[in-house]
Amino acid sequence: MGKYEQIIGAMKMFGLKEHETMAEIKRKINILIKQWHPDTTRKQDRNNNDKAIAVIKAREILMNYLDNYKISFEKTEIEKYLSPQEQWMRQFGNDHIWGNGT
C-alpha cells in the first residue's frame, strides 16, 4: 500500500473530510482514540486491542503527514480564508453606499 492510500485510509478511519482544520482533525482523532483506548473500553478482548492498535497507527500516519505538510503563505491562498466582513470591506471598502462611507 502506497503513502497516499495509507493517508486516505487513516482519513476515512477518523471520518475526516477532504478539507478540515487542524482543530477538527485533532478533535476527531481524540474521539476515536478515547473510544478504543484499552483503559476506557469496558470489554477487554482481542478485537478491541486490534482496533486500538489500528487507530494509533492511523493517527501516526496522519500526524506524520501533517507535521511535514508545507503551509502556503501566498497571498492568494490566505485570501481564500477571509471572513465575510473582510471580503465585504475588500470589495466595497470606502464606497459611500456599500462601504463604511469614509
What is the number of other CB atoms lying within 10 angstroms of the CB of residue 56? 14
Q: Give the C-alpha separation, 50 to 57, whole Å.
A: 11
Q: What is the pLDDT of residue 37?
A: 79
Task: Kindly state the cell numbers that stand for 76.
Answer: 492568494
Q: What is the pLDDT of residue 30?
A: 92
Q: What is the pLDDT of residue 6?
A: 95
**Sorting pLDDT into bands at 50, 70 and 90, what band is 41?**
low
**100 and 50 in one domain?**
no
Q: What is the arithmetic mean of pLDDT over 2-15?
A: 94
**34 and 7 in one domain?**
yes
* DSSP for residue 66: H
- For residue 61, the Cα-to-chain-centroid distance in whole angstroms is 13
**88 and 49 in one domain?**
no
**39 and 12 in one domain?**
yes
- CATH number at 48 reads 1.10.287
**86 and 58 in one domain?**
no
**58 and 10 in one domain?**
yes
Q: What is the pLDDT of residue 42?
A: 67
Q: Answer whether 0.85 is exceeded by the pTM.
A: no
User: What domain range includes position 29?
Assistant: 3-69
Query: How does pLDDT run across 64-102, given as a tens digit for each residue?
Result: 999 999 988 999 988 888 898 888 888 887 777 776 655
**At 65, which amino acid appears?**
Y
3-state DSSP call for residue 19? coil
Domain count, the chain: 2
* CA separation, residue 85 to residues 35, 73, 88, 95 (Å): 39, 21, 5, 15
Q: What is the pLDDT of residue 44?
A: 65
